[in-house]
Chain A
Amino acid sequence: MADQSDQQLMVRIQQGDRRAIEYVIDRYQRALYNFAYRFLNDGDAAADIVQHTFIQLFTHIQDLRADEGLKPWLFRVARHRCLDEIRRQRTTAFSQLATDDDEGGSPLDYYADPTPLPDDLAEREDLQQILAEAIASLPAKYREVVALRYTADLSFAEIGAVLGIPEATAKTQFHRAKPLLRAFLRARGITQSV
């Protein structure tokens, strides 16, 4: 069953085959957890969201269209829970929660840095933490795209399906986020001198 397609597993889940949902969990729990973890920067919240997502899958499997991908559906549910969690926490670390494409850009764009980072970057002990903080520093609209791209390895088409936006818009938001990431990393000492 491990080599069955998502659609075949979906049919088995609706037939009540609990082994099928175990295979789906094995297939996607790590990617979902990493997405939620990078989005919220909170391991406990990420675990809750992943648990909720798979429970939603089991209880609402009949709502999935046969032509709808399981992967985008899972990440879509997880993303909605992440946004709900952000609203619940009422954090002020993020500049906006709007999911509409803001053609006007974010004020943080003023601090964007297009200068490339060095390739010969020495390994830093705190690199993982800095990378995680860089993602967490982004506005929610950019952070979800970056998290889906870098942690879940979704294509732009899949990201568009998750977020309900055109693929081109997903690419635009991703590329707008990069100068912000670059500026953050440079501010944290990822410079030529490292």
Chain B
Amino acid sequence: MRPRGSSDERDDVDRLFARLQSVAPPADLKANILRALPTGVPAQPPMQAAPTGQTGAAANAIPWRWIALGAGVVLACMSLRLGSLLDDSGAFSVLSQIFSDFGSFMAAPGDYLTPLASELPWFDIIIALAALVTFWVSSSASVDQAQGSRSRQR
């Protein structure tokens, strides 16, 4: 087996080991390998030879990265909408009263919380919270997926 490079780059050790003969594997090695292979196709759907580098694992697993991106966009939109709704509804003014006169709030919290609860856009708040949770879960899963793919190369 000749090492790479021109003959001028080869030194005495390279020239000597160029004489090292290749050893033939056992005659039945290939047959043993084929016999030991699991039957059927590999578990995952076919990997496309995509030049973009999309891996077979990434193509077949849940696309956590895209879910995180979508959840982030929804979260950003809902944040803007919530801010606008809270301002228009007067909930911000109730909240500012609570923080400016916390003693009164503690003395009679119902007087503040009842109007606040009626003013809050609960549906939008639920959507925003759902988007937040989805973003957090999917971004964590995306990181775990990327780390798991690298570790499986061992």
**B-contacting residues of A (Cβ < 8 Å)?**
7-8, 10-11, 13-16, 18, 21-22, 25-26, 29-30, 33-34, 37, 43, 46-47, 50-51, 54-55, 58-67, 73, 76-77, 80, 116-119, 121, 127-128, 131-132, 149-153, 155, 178, 181-182, 185, 190
**Which residues of A sit under 8 angstroms from B38, Cβ to Cβ?**
55, 58-59
Which B89-120 residues sit within 8 Å CB-CB of chain A?
A: none
Interface size on B, residues (CB 8 A): 48
B16-52 Cβ-contact flags toward A at 8 Å (1 or 0): 1101111111100110111011101111101111111
Secondary structure call for the B interface: loop
For residue B140, CB closer than 8 A to chain A, the reply is no
For residue B69, CB closer than 8 A to chain A, the reply is no
In the complex, which of the residues A30, A33, A63 has the most CB atoms of chain B within 10 Å of its own CB atom?
A63
Residue from the list B4, B26, B46 in contact with A14, Cβ < 8 A: B46
**Which residues of B sit under 8 angstroms from A127, Cβ to Cβ?**
19
Shortest beta-carbon distance, A140 to chain B, in Å?
Answer: 17
Cα distance A65–B54 in the bound complex, in angstroms: 7
Output the nearest chain A residue to B55 by Cβ-Cβ distance: A65
